[in-house]
Structure 1
Amino acid sequence: MLLPQEIIRAKRNGLELNREQIAFFIKGVTSGAVTDSQIAAFAMAVYFQGMEMHERVALTEEMMHSGNVLQWHDMPGPIVDKHSTGGVSDSVSLMLGPLVAACGGYVPMIAGRGLGHTGGTLDKFESIPGYNIMPSETSFKQIVKDIGVAIIGQTDEIAPADKRIYGIRDVTATVDSIPMITASILSKKLSAGLGSLAMDVKTGNGAFMSTLEDARLLAESIVAVANQAGVPTSATITDMSQPLGSTAGNATEMLEAIDYLTGKYRNPRLHEVTMALAEQMLLLSGLATSKQDALSKLNHALDSGAATEKFSAMVHALGGPADLVEKAGDYVQLAPVCKPVFATTAGYVQHIETRNVGLAVVSLGGGRTEPSQKVDHAVGLTELASLGQQISADQPIAMVYARTEAEAEAAAASVQAAFSMSDQPVEAPPIIHALLEPTK
């Protein structure tokens, strides 16, 4: 006889769970038959005892099927997506979706909000007046079919078991369990009916997986589980020991993304990660035959303006202004108080406490410490200095945009403290640490 407490007991004692036990437990999570305290106990048992790969696959698939799994029967091209484990100044999705759509991919991106020090793709899109992150499923599918990309939020019908489990993991110190992270990410992503997936697993002091070893374990888990669940998936391990782009915030990153698409300015790190993930998406989905072919298609999509056109069309289809790209500064506005941040001493940027840079944005009101908080989209940081960059005494390491002088000063002090300087040249770490190809 199946009982939630017996399933918890088995996992607590280090036994492997079978598909029937996991399916029963997840059905109970979705229906409410399993209590919050039982979910908490289950999460803690998994945290300490771990899960074998077959258990992770079963958990992912059962959570995925706890709600609606989208079907794309009439799409003229491959369904492909990307997911990042999150960091600071990671605006890749904003450019990546339209860029891959311009190369013939169909990208139904169900994105998340920021929490803690990490920014959220949805918050960035909500800095655009009128942009609707929660269209109906019919509308979502139609936009993906017509334009090739739509970036929206997780509805109540997508992986509801994950939503409930995640909320409990968040308050019971069981978030950083690799089997649970794997199932949480993939149950949401695979619910979108994907044909293939490119994962971006971050490592460094601004990432949830701060060590390369932990990042690799998570990447291996996601690649193995997704491929066993029938979705060809690769994972690129990328660096988060400094902010990825030149800005951090919501409106600030949206403006940076528009500058990127139009070619006005492309931060080299942001460009390298965007192109690496886009290349994977084209290769996994069969839209490119080689890395060279993928790069050629991607560069053409950027240089011809096709990626920018896809971005504009998506924004307008989801309720935003048709001329956003042309009049970005009119629509996406920054907070009124602008203050430069100077390093404590001139020299080379030796170290950045990336998490604290993200928390400085949160302190301005640009992020949240718990899910229900409202976000001020207009605050944030621009012109962020990079590791290894030489800074003179009169050169800012960042610009702060805030609502008040006092908030600007407090954030500036936090950002200043996050940067350590050296009088000797410093070599920045590689942007891409590893690529894990799909397992057969």
Structure 2
Amino acid sequence: MPPGITTLAADAPTLSAANTGFMLICSALVMLMTPALAFFYGGMVRVKSTLNMLMMSFISLGIVTILWVLYGFSLAFGTDAGSIIGWSQDFVGLSGIGVTELWDGYTIPVYVFAVFQLMFAVLTPALISGALADRVKFTSWALFITLWVTVVYFPVAHWVWGAGGWLFELGVIDFAGGTAVHINAGAAALGVILVIGKRVGFKKDPMRPHSLPLVMLGAGLLWFGWFGFNAGSWLGNDDGVGAVMFVNTQVATAAAMLAWLGYEKLRHGSFTTLGAASGAVAGLVAITPAGGAVSPLGAIAVGAIAGVLCAMAVGLKYKLGYDDSLDVVGVHLVGGVVGSLLIGFFATGGVQSDAKGLFYGGGLDQLGKQAVGVFAVLAYSLVVSAILAFLLDKTIGMRVEEDDEVSGIDQVEHAETAYDFSGAGGGAAPRTTTPAPGTTAAPTNKKVDA
């Protein structure tokens, strides 16, 4: 997010219909990313877990929206308190905000900024869900989301983007969420899976994606929605910075997809659709913090490096023994770390700020700031998320019963299945020919053409 702009009264901004409309469209695009993520994750799991995976993302739209209105916006973007958290009574319930009141220093209403940021808050816990596929009680997951956004996401968003937040004041660059969204979610995923353990059959049973077309659909919709996520984070485009971010988003994503596929071909001998989708997402993640600080050539470098490193990272779960079901740690945590740290090398000092990276004469100063931001968010989210998972596991329980996990979490938790196979095979029911009275011939069955 861009830093606030201090203006004199005579130079106070006025509402811009163009920027307001643009930001509402961007908000809708970011909202689309949560169901897109549901499709992406839903195609990657086995048939028996499809609906549960969709619901773990979709429920975030309900829970986080209400919490954001009640107190989340106030905690994240209210008046700073000790550089750790915000609070403004006017933001509680969004009840004290004037319809035409502008967000500080910008030409968009507070309501527009609030709804744009809401969509970020919705998406972030949904990202965590991919690491927990097949084995978490839906009620426990819903309660985890409630607690996690309250004690992790809202404070971290204030650190990174809130005026007075300590990482904001330090000068950490995070254009659209490399730390607050992706490292935050990836570290949380690692913390939770270390507590709840592995799926039944991990490293023994095949756990292949059941629908790669669904994965590709989700990845394509994520790519589409990400333009709102990234370009919209400048809160307007009067100075062209948002346009640079738009271009860099496309460039880095393409580079990451190609790099992932190249690594995959050299390492495993094939170009896979899952690799293409995962590589694209890795590029989107990596450019999210960096896209406003680097040139298009820098975006190619960021995407390519992230594509290779994330492809390498997804295999660590088999070596280290943690069960990250859908590679949230390998893609979002690693991609977020890579993108955030590479700002310290590739920042040109000529786009969103004058901060320069090592390769542009800025020395190690910005890299040091980026490292502080990366590891502070990583450590806080990892530890607090593990504690929350532990407390829930010891009270109401986080995991379904082993027999329920084996038989299928969709039926147990949702009383539904993703696909109805009862009519599979086509054709009508067989027709029986009854023998004539007094005969002993056995009846014959003939199928009637459909």
TM-score if structure 1 supplies the norm length?
0.27
Bigger share in helix: 2
Which has the higher Rg, Structure 1 or Structure 2? 2
